[in-house]
Amino acid sequence: MARGSVDMNFLFTLGELARLVRAYADKQAARHGITRAQWAVLAKVERTEGLKQSELAELMEMQPITLTRLIDRLCDNGWIERRSDDTDRRVNRLYLRKAARPLLGKLGGLRSELTATRARRHQPGRRPPPARSTGSDQGKRAQRHSKSGR
């Protein structure tokens, strides 16, 4: 197999894994009445309270107006509060409210659960479940088998 194809398979698998994690996070966040994007904002503010909205938008690679709408919703739910900056009245700093902490505790447990599940599936000596194959994979396998005389 050529080196380029190994790299492509790795990138494809990595992309698929990211999609599956996002789908899982969407479902878990919805169970708690929020979106994955809102969860991400809460988690970032929890890690760095007092962050400027503009800094958070940059960290999350999000347009400021999009982030403002998310923060508006989180403020309406009583999970985040905006405070004016002492030195620049144009700046809002973000702080977690007490009401958000139990929610983040539950969501943090889900994050740990996901990590533990992945770790259990990849324990040393344990064979991973067989990968699902696509039609093109089956065709390649048939060619290999016919060449090797199997």
Nearest to 116 by CA among 42, 11, 108: 108
Secondary structure letter of residue 133 according to DSSP: -
Could you read off the pLDDT of 25-42 as tens digits, one per residue?
A: 888 889 888 999 999 999
Q: What band does 5 get if pLDDT is binned at 50, 70 and 90?
A: low
d(CA 50, CA 88): 14
Burial of 57-87, coded b for 16+ CB within 10 Å and e otherwise, reads beeeebeeeebeebbebbeeeebbbeeeeee
Going by C-beta distance under 8 Å and a sequence separation of 6 or more, which residues neighbour residue 82? Answer: 53, 71, 75, 92, 93, 94, 95
pLDDT above 70 for 3: no
Q: What band does 85 get if pLDDT is binned at 50, 70 and 90?
A: very high
Could you read off the pLDDT of 88-123 as tens digits, one per residue?
A: 989 999 999 999 999 998 887 776 776 776 556 555
Q: Which two tokens stand for residue 1?
A: 């197999």
